[in-house]
Amino acid sequence: MDQLPDWLVICVWRALFGEIYPSIRAIAISLNESRHLVIRYYLDRESSEMDQESMEVVATNISAAIGLDRISRIELECQFEVCP
């Protein structure tokens, strides 16, 4: 999939309210043809339990807003990145 659908961008944007904090350098999302959504946090440090909890909140908010008819699965990843 080359470009994310507008409904998904808006839903993820809304789900991220209150879940952005200074350790996050970037957030990437991707959706493949089988409706598998990947959310990846790029952090300026090793991930912690707080990061996993934050991502779970985001995933729960997305699932509640969209449902399983548009997204079959949500995968969450945290990646430590030294580059700006």
pLDDT of residue 2: 72
The token duo for 43 is 């952090």
**What number of other Cβ atoms are within 10 A of residue 33's Cβ?**
6
How does pLDDT run across 56-82, given as a tens digit for each residue?
A: 999 999 999 997 788 999 999 999 977
Instruction: Give the Cα separation of 13 and 44 in Å (integer).
Output: 21
**How many residues are present in the chain?**
84
Which of 25, 80, 37, 79 shows the shortest CA–CA distance to 61? 37
Averaged over 24-46, what is the pLDDT?
93
Instruction: Give the Cα separation of 78 and 71 in Å (integer).
Output: 20
How does pLDDT run across 3-25, given as a tens digit for each residue?
A: 899 999 999 999 999 999 999 99
User: Residues 46, 59, 8, CA angle at the centre, nearest 5°?
Assistant: 115
pLDDT of residue 84: 67
